[in-house]
Amino acid sequence: MIYTNLTKKALKLCFEAHKEQTDKTGLPYVFHPFHLAEQMDDEISTVCALLHDVVEDTPYTFGDLREMGFPEEVLDVLRLLTHDDATPYMDYVQKLSSNPTAKKVKLADLRHNSDVSRLDTVDEWALKRNEKYKKAIELLSK
């Protein structure tokens, strides 16, 4: 992982925001954004990977992130990565594909979420979710 003042700030916020959350198998959720951040190759994508679910899945807002000093470049990517349930999933994926950093983070996110070895049980729901993610990966890989 790339360690800069900005990525350290994002690491701390990521941990604080997700510290009480667990994934579908009961593991600390924070391992997921940490895993994505380890795959990134620059400061902005590392920060975005760490924070990609903060606004969507915690009480933090974009205003909070701005007040904490995260740059607009990061906020722009995070806005793209934050899925509004009113937007059809594939429309959301198509829109974020216009930004190279958002695309890179989302591809890492989709690949990690598609790893069924992380699951205790691979049920029908998991298989349907993976089909959706496979289509999203194909769209972003064009």
pLDDT digits (tens, 9 = 90+) for 23-42: 878 889 999 999 999 999 99
The pLDDT of residue 21 is above 90: yes
38-80 pLDDT, tens digit each? 999 999 999 999 999 999 999 999 999 999 999 999 999 999 9
Residue 22 phi/psi, 5-degree rounding, is: -130, 160
Model pLDDT, residue 120: 77
The pLDDT of residue 105 is above 90: yes
Model pLDDT, residue 117: 79
Domain boundaries, the chain: 5-140
Domain at 5-140: CATH code: 1.10.3210.10
Q: Would you state the structure tokens that stand for residue 107, as one six-digit string? A: 């591809």
